[in-house]
């Protein structure tokens, strides 16, 4: 795994592929210029950041057995792309046979800059959207539990699609 604490800005210029957890405590911008892949049930946790930017907009959490890790971001804003064109944010759990997806907690404003095209979460055990989410296109969430604490807005009339992640479970949702 990887742990960073007490940092201002944190920047990853290359693709990240790590077996284990990544924990970042930073007060400025946390930026991933390439895709992020966590293996062996690893989790990505980011705390206290002013903003978090995923230039490629792709986060993959893999597990061969047990549960895939979690994505937990507590920041002012989450941004995608390089800021010049609308981009998607995709969180993809890639569980192997007998494994299951983990939780996604996004406690940050998403899409405030008008550049979030679609928000897609695949195969999560639970999704929590803690602050306002604004997309130009669609919100597609495949999860077994959904909590929306603020609101979701599609500026271009996109679709809001929620489906159950596991065939053995009915999906539950709640709104604050």
Mean pLDDT by 10 residues, the chain (176 residues): 94 94 96 93 94 92 81 94 84 78 90 88 90 91 89 84 71 55
Token readout for 176 is 């604050």
pLDDT of residue 97: 64
pLDDT of residue 155: 83
pLDDT of residue 175: 53
User: Do residues 105 and 83 touch, judged by C-beta distance below 8 A?
Assistant: no
pLDDT of residue 107: 93
Residue 135: in which H helix or E strand, if any? Answer: strand 133-135
pLDDT of residue 27: 96
- Provide the 3-class DSSP secondary structure of residue 78: strand
């Amino acid at each position: 795994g990887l742990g960073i604490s007490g940092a201002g800005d944190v920047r990853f210029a290359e693709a990240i592929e790590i077996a284990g957890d990544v924990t970042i405590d930073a007060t400025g911008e946390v930026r991933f210029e390439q895709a992020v892949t966590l293996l062996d049930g690893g989790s990505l946790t980011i705390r206290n950041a002013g903003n978090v930017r995923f230039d490629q907009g792709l986060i993959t959490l893999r597990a061969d057995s047990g549960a895939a890790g979690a994505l937990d971001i507590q920041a002012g804003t989450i941004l995608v792309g390089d800021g010049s064109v609308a981009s998607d944010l995709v969180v993809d759990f890639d569980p192997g046979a007998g494994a299951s997806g983990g939780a996604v907690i996004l406690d940050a404003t998403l899409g405030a800059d008008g550049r979030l095209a679609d928000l897609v979460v695949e195969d999560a055990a639970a999704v929590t959207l803690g602050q306002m989410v604004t997309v130009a296109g669609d919100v597609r969430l495949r999860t077994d539990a959904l909590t929306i604490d603020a609101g979701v807005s599609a500026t271009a009339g996109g679709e809001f699609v929620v489906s159950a992640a596991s065939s053995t479970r009915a999906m539950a949702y709640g709104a604050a």
